[in-house]
Structure 1
């Protein structure tokens, strides 16, 4: 395989390599990881004609400056970031042709919080437990660093126009409503609390990260801890102090706090794109028999 290198001139605020996730290892306490916004992740690979689980770069809030050693094709989906190729503005959600020594800059996000840079054939970083997703303590690197490099397949496979189109629907970036099912301990809330949790606007805290999305303030409750029980990304936990948080893709595999809500798949895409101080409101979904 002919390999190209991407030099990371600056890494951005928090940039990582992610794929669809690391499955089959939860019994060992290994998080699933993977792209926070799975919709944007899938779309960037689809636009490039990649396999749906090819590794991409996940960018948080403000992105890196990258230089390519070989020609290739890239695409950017997700939040509305400022994108420049050799100091000229380029559009997201479409294939961008890269030439040798080109410099690609990903600026700050104007809407949304995370963006996804895909490349033809996916990023060729290390595979650990069947996944390229970076995770601290498991992979050699847990975020991209300045003056390091990434490998990619520079074979430049043929890219034929099949006369079909792929449209990235970015309306979810502005959606403040987060569809959520009642969780296993939802019934332990009082009737008033059950209504209030769906009627309250919550503001995202600056401490939010890939492990957990946290909210400002407290949600008054008298729930105690529970015996350690399974949790997954999108589980909403309520701790005795009243702090409410949504577990992210790097969350633990079990938890001892009441699981009051569970986000839908769409809801996780939406909340993954929310920045600190953004307001959200949970929207009730009910299970169908």
Structure 2
């Protein structure tokens, strides 16, 4: 299933994208929202599947409808840095021995087509197309013989926007360059895990002003999705509705020759992941 949320920011309603790929169906009669509570309830998800298969869900008029983030009330956004061999190489970093973990605040998450704000005094705002993992069951100290993918509700396109000067040149942790407002467009859909049989076989692409900048595959991840979920669960409890951004492939502005083409107001970024949909954002000054 492709689950999403539509409507004005803060007033989104749950919806489902029909199998025809164009018709939106209203889920509000079956679910209050697309959130951790729904994702953790197999019976509720089964009712949604049954209603969709039976043609019981009313159609929504999609004209002019904003698409919001596909998950509501996200508890935390865990991010994995330097998780692609080619991205580590382009930035001159050694591939890490263990996953590099940092956080984005949940309030950085916006819709896939919402405006992204270039922070004040920013000179190095950068793009990062990423596969997002959405947790569906509480994951705590997962053992080696457990299947971490069984704890995944689904996957989505994530844009881990970053300000490199704030991140790398201002001291301390990466957090200052990762948590500016609007810095995590997510969606358009949450694609349930049954529709993504192999998360290590997905292409990712990103364009800036129509120019292809990133063209990678999750096959190049240093730490595959299953390993990431297991690893993170040993340092923190993952709850239904939590999100993990799993890293970005090569092609970011930071890895380009001088003058590096960092983002400015007026730039347009588009990105997509195979089977998970496409995003488009215009950048404006904060």
TM-score, with length taken from structure 1: 0.26
Q: Which has the larger radius of gyration?
A: 1
- The structure richer in helix per residue is 2
TM-score normalized by the length of structure 2 = 0.26
Higher RCO, Cα 8 Å, sep 6+: 2
